[in-house]
Amino acid sequence: MAAITAEEMRELVARALAEDLGDGDVTGEATVPAERTATARIVQKAPGVVFGLDLVVETMAQTGVQEVDTLVAEGEWFQDIPVEVLVARGTARSILAAERTALNFLGHLSGVATLTARYVEAVAGTKARILDTRKTTPGLRKLEKAAVAAGGGTNHRMGLFDAFLIKENHIAAAGSIPRAVYAARKAHPELPVEVEVRNLDETAYALGTGADQLLLDNMDPPTLRAAVELRDANSHDGGKPTLEASGGVNLETVRAAAESGVDFISVGALTHSAPVLDFSLLLSTD
């Protein structure tokens, strides 16, 4: 998983296991003979995109599971379910110690990838691309954004450090949109600059600042379409900023937003409200 390094993955999994196991799995240790070996199969029970198998492998490795094999490629949509996605062999105790942490990672990240794929499918045939946001689970941003990419979405900035997004409060503190854009360009000319606008007047004003992208905040489809027309009418010599629709978008409304002609649609729900994709671990003892 290129989203995080091997060391980052080991540390993340170790923290998650420590949270779950504490001083030990009292149920497993009391009821399961130490020498009992088993085979575990993780089964996907709902249609969707699988993502997070590397975390399952690492989780099982850290609890002492000897053999783990992934059976499917990540980033693919599986419609015909149930489908086995992973098989593991080891002591029953070690498998049971890993079970919940492994399924938590897999279900959550696959849920993010699956919801993203639904949004991407909803705008298919338009020019709009689906963006994620910074509305992520603390500590899991890299993984959640990787899951968005696995579902066919496009990653927005990783954090506050790698791109400018000048929002309403920044503009108020800076004094105006031009002042904020000028200060951003002066401080870090190598970084892209995006400006939030709330109506067509602000859109027209921001177009004159040379911003790379405008965030069209909570605009309905007719207003989005007017903003696209305004941008196109006032762009010359290749200096055409991209437009991002944001706010109030769901699976029922995203198509209309995309058909307005915007370049991007950002959806916070991809990471903050994605339903968990359903997986089960089925254990058989040897």
Query: Side chain identity at 24, as an amino acid letter?
Result: G
Q: What is the DSSP letter of 134?
A: S
Q: Which position among 89, 100, 179, 225 bears the catalytic label? A: 100
CB-CB contact of 36 with 91 (8 Å): yes
Numbers of helices and strands, H then E, in the chain: 11, 12
Cα(252)–Cα(185) distance, integer angstroms: 38
Active-site annotation holds for 54: no
Q: Which residue has the tokens 């992934």?
A: 70
Q: Which position among 167, 179, 240, 255 bears the catalytic label? A: 167
Cα(79)–Cα(20) distance, integer angstroms: 32
Active-site annotation holds for 25: no
Active-site annotation holds for 100: yes
Q: What share of the chain is helix, strand, coil (3-state, %, to 5)?
A: 45, 20, 35
Terminus-to-terminus CA distance in the chain, angstroms? 32
Helix (H) or strand (E) holding 283: strand 279-285
Active-site annotation holds for 134: no
Q: Which position among 20, 217, 259, 278 bears the catalytic label? A: 217
Cα(147)–Cα(137) distance, integer angstroms: 13
Q: Which position among 99, 144, 196, 263 bears the catalytic label? A: 196
Beta bridge partners of 280: 43
CB-CB contact of 152 with 120 (8 Å): yes
List all residues 6 or more positions away from 157 whose beta carbon is below 8 Å from its beta carbon. 134, 163, 165
- Kindly state the tokens that stand for 116: 């993203």
Active-site annotation holds for 217: yes
Q: Which position among 135, 179, 225, 240 bears the catalytic label? A: 135
Residues with catalytic roles: 100, 135, 167, 196, 217
